Structure 1
Amino acid sequence: MVEQTAVLGVASVGLGMVLSPGPNMMYLVSRSTGQGRRAGLVSLAGVAAGFLVYLVAANLGLAVLFAAFPGLLTVIRVAGALYLLWLAWKTLKPGGVSVFTAREVPPDPPRRLFVMGLMTNLLNPKIALLYVSVIPQFVDLDRGNVLLQGVILGCVQIAVALLVNLSIVLAAGGIAGFLSARPSWLRAQRLAMGSVLAVLAVALLFAHR
Structure 2
Amino acid sequence: MTGFGTTFAIALAFFVVAVSPGPANIAVATVAMHSGRRPGLLFGLGLSVGLSVWGVVAATGLGVVLQASSYVLSLLKIAGGLYLLWLAFQSGRSAMHKAGSETVRPDKGRWFWRGLILNLSNPKAVVAWMAALSMGLSQETDGAMVAAATLVCIAIGFVNYAGYAITFSLPGFMSGYRRLRRWIDGLVAGLFAVAGVSLIRSAFSR
- Return the TM-score normalized by structure 1: 0.69
Give the match's secondary structure for 2:61: helix
8 Å CA contact retained: 1:50, 1:122: yes
Aligned ranges 1:128-207 → 2 under 5 Å:
128-131=126-129, 133-141=130-138, 144-145=141-142, 147-173=143-169, 174=171, 175-180=173-178, 182-183=179-180, 186-207=181-202
State the shift of 1:44 in Å: 3.1
Q: CA shift at 1:62, angstroms? A: 1.8
- Structure 1 position 151, deviation (Å): 3.3
Q: Give the deviation of 1:15 after TM superposition.
A: 2.0
Where does the alignment leave 5 or more consecutive residues of structure 1 unmatched?
none
Aligned residues: 196
What do residues 96-140 of structure 1 show as CA deviations (whole Å, max 9, x unaligned)? 469xx977646444xx55444434432334424433x53344243
How far does residue 76 in structure 1 lie from its aligned partner after superposition?
A: 0.8
Distance 1:102 1:93, change over 3 A: closer
How many angstroms apart in 2 are the aligned matches of 1:77 and 1:187?
Answer: 29
Of 161-170 and 43-52, deviating more is 43-52
2:27 paired residue number? 26
Do 1:102 and 1:176's aligned partners in 2 also have CA atoms closer than 8 Å? no
Relative distance call for 1:81 and 1:153 in structure 2 (3 A) is: farther
Give the equivalent residue in structure 2 for 1:9. 13
> Gaps (5+ residues) in structure 2?
none
Aligned equivalent of 1:74: 74
Structure 1 position 13, deviation (Å): 1.8
Partner SS state of residue 60, structure 2? helix
Deviation at 1:71, TM superposition (A): 1.1
Query: Which residue does the alignment assign to 1:50?
Result: 50
Do the aligned residues in 2 keep the contact of 1:44 with 1:114 (CA within 8 Å)?
yes
What TM-score, normalized to structure 2? 0.70
* Aligned-partner residue type, residue 30 of structure 1: V
* Contact 1:10 1:156 (8 Å CA) reproduced: no
Pick closer, same or farther for the CA change 1:153–1:202 going to 2, 3 Å: farther
SS of residue paired to 2:23: coil
CA contact 1:59–1:151 (8 Å) conserved in 2: yes
Change in 2 beyond 3 A, CA 1:108/1:91: closer
CA distances 1:10-69 after superposition (whole Å, capped 9, x unpaired): 2212222xx2233x65267437743x4334334433333333333223322322431553
CA shift, 1:72, in A, is: 0.5
Q: Aligned residues: percent identity?
A: 24
SS of 2:73's partner is helix
Contact 1:28 1:43 in 2 (8 A): no
- 1:81-92 matches, cutoff 5 A: 81-92=81-92
Q: Give the corresponding residue for 1:60.
A: 60
